[in-house]
Amino acid sequence: MATTTPVRTIHSIINDIGFVGHSLISISDLSDDQLYGLFELAKTLEPWNRSKIDLFPGAILGLLFFQPSTRTRMSFETAITRLGGKALVETNPEKTSSIAKEESLEDMMRCVCQYANVIVLRHYDDQAARSAAAVSTSPIINGGWGHWEHPTQALLDLYAMWRTFGHIKDLTVCVAAADMVEARTGHSMAYGLARLGAKIILASRSDRRTPPEVMAKLKDEFGVVPEEVLDSNQDSFNELVSGVDLIYLPGCSAPKGATSDFYRTIMDDYYVRAETLEAVRNSGRDIYITHTLPRRAGEMDLRIDDTDSQLCFRSISHSVNIRMALVASILGL
């Protein structure tokens, strides 16, 4: 008698992920199976990332953003709306919330978790964010903490890779920035790439190289020792990236000012030329580049935007459904 394959429903995929009620503080909070389960759920939810599926009517997603944001905040707002819930948004809490009246972040969290089923927190101090997350009775999603990690950005970029290549294992990815110390998205992405079996090249200046604690975690937790390429010039960097599958530019999260100005002066050595990618594609091999955005003038050749190599903006189309998947997996059905 012929056997039939069980139908995979949204409900069954969420149950199989097994993340209901959990917080996402680090990309390491998700197992390999959970990552791939989220990818499957996100792909299943893709038809609704421009419409609506009322899975969670009445659910409230709290968004507390102590740093500027466009894509992370708006994609989470969109995600909960597409799922049938609503967003409770605070975009300038140091001026418009009781933080301005010297309320502690912990006390704020103790209150907001009474309103929201899940909270997305972006904060400039990862230690303060961790302390606040510890007192919440609602699950917390790290929306970018200090220079430490930005796990949902890594989740999005890993998903975009999976949708582009069909796999992540054995791909070669160059994570490159003049300053890898403050590249929190680069740290999270390196962890995700390591656990899913990609080869990692970390390119930066030697005085702003990937922090020792990130390198130690890659080795101790995932058994991966990435190749480090330090102090490239523009020619040697473009030669390096011509041999990879994906160039990942985590950029600089600093606002306008002295830190940003310093970054601008050192990033020319890590400028990706359109001619480099064109030559690789003309040789018959696919190569892609993505930037976590926002990008600054001079970080990459803008002519790449109109080529098949560009994933920066194409990946944005995936940002809603992967965050729909994450929120759904935490809320549960």
Under CATH, to which class is 151-316 assigned?
alpha beta
pLDDT at 253: 55
What is the rounded radius of gyration, in angstroms, for the C-alpha atoms of the chain? 20
Domain ranges of the chain: 10-150+318-331, 151-316
pLDDT at 8: 85
pLDDT at 178: 87
Distance in angstroms (rounded) separating the CA atoms of residues 142 and 185: 12
Equal fold, 10-150+318-331 vs 151-316:
yes
Nearest to 72 by CA among 24, 132, 127: 24
Number of neighbouring beta carbons within 10 Å of residue 258:
8
Paired tokens of 184:
């929190």
Distance in angstroms (rounded) separating the CA atoms of residues 64 and 124: 12
pLDDT at 295: 81
Encode pLDDT of 233-289 as tens digits.
999 999 999 999 999 998 765 555 556 666 667 788 899 999 999 999 999 999 999
Dump the DSSP string for 98-140: GGGGT--HHHHHHHHTTT-SEEEEEES-HHHHHHHHHT-SS-E
pLDDT at 279: 96
CATH code for the structural domain at 10-150+318-331: 3.40.50.1370
The pTM for the full model equals 0.92
Encode pLDDT of 193-204 as tens digits.
999 999 999 999
Low-confidence stretches of the chain (pLDDT < 50) are none
**Strand boundaries in 129-287, DSSP class E:** 140-145, 172-176, 199-204, 227-230, 246-249
Contact, 238 vs 272, CB < 8 A? yes
End-to-end alpha-carbon separation of the chain, Å? Answer: 34
pLDDT at 259: 62
